[in-house]
C-alpha cells in the first residue's frame, strides 16, 4: 500500500511540474510517465486518465485540509489552509481551472466540500430544528458560494485577503442562523 501511494505521489508531482509550463490537455501520458520515470502500465494501474490523476491530486492535497477541520468551530482554519494551498500552488491550480473550466473543477470538489459544509451547517442549525431539506439547501448554497469565491480569488478578481473572506463567510452564515432564530421566536 505504501509503495502504491508513493507511486501515485510521484505521478502527481510530475503532473504538477508539467502543468507549470503546459495546459493540461497538451500533456500526454507518455510525457507524464517519462517525467516521473515510470512506465505507462504503472500509470494505468493507478489511474484511468490524466483527469483521474488530477482529481486524486486535488483530493489528497486540498480536501484533506478541509476534512481535518470539519468541526463547526474550526472549519475556518481548514478553509484558511485551503487558501494557503491555492496560493502556494497557484500555477498548478490556475492551469487546472483554465484547462478544465469551472464545471470540471466543481465536480472534483463539490461532494467533499459539500460534506464538510453540511457538517458545519447541520451543527449550527441543530437548535433551530431545521428540516433536512433546509439544511441541504443551505449546504448547496454555501458550497457553490465558496467555490465561486475561491475561483474569483484565485483569478485575482478580489482584493480581500483569505482571512477577510473567511470572516465575511462566517459573518454571513452566523447572520443567517441568527435571522432564522429570530424568525422562529417571532412565530412562537
Under the banding of pLDDT at 50, 70 and 90, the label for residue 182 is confident
Helix axes 50-58, 2-19, angle to 10 degrees: 100
Provide the Cα torsion 12, 15, 17, 21; round to 10°: -160
What is the structure's pLDDT at 43?
A: 96
* pLDDT tens, position by position, 94-123: 888 887 766 666 666 676 677 777 878 888
What is the structure's pLDDT at 112?
A: 66
What is the structure's pLDDT at 71?
A: 55
Q: How far apart are CA 70 and CA 85, in angstroms?
A: 17
Amino acid at each position: 500500500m505504501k509503495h502504491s501511494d508513493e507511486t501515485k505521489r510521484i505521478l502527481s508531482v510530475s503532473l504538477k511540474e508539467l502543468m507549470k509550463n503546459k495546459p493540461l490537455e497538451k500533456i500526454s501520458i507518455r510525457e507524464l510517465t517519462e517525467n516521473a520515470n515510470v512506465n505507462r502500465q504503472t500509470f494505468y494501474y493507478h489511474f484511468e486518465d490524466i483527469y483521474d490523476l488530477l482529481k486524486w491530486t486535488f483530493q489528497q492535497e486540498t480536501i484533506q485540509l478541509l476534512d481535518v477541520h470539519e468541526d463547526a468551530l474550526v472549519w475556518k482554519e481548514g478553509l484558511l489552509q485551503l487558501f494557503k494551498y491555492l496560493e502556494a500552488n497557484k500555477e498548478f491550480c490556475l492551469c487546472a481551472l483554465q484547462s478544465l473550466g469551472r464545471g470540471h473543477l466543481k465536480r472534483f470538489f463539490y461532494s467533499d466540500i459539500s460534506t464538510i459544509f453540511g457538517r458545519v451547517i447541520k451543527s449550527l442549525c441543530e437548535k433551530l430544528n431545521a428540516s433536512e431539506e433546509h439544511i441541504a439547501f443551505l449546504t448547496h448554497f454555501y458550497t457553490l458560494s465558496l467555490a465561486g469565491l475561491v475561483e474569483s480569488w484565485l483569478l485575482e478578481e478580489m482584493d480581500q485577503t483569505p482571512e477577510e473572506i473567511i470572516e465575511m463567510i462566517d459573518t454571513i452564515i452566523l447572520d443567517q442562523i441568527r435571522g432564522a432564530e429570530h424568525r422562529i421566536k417571532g412565530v412562537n
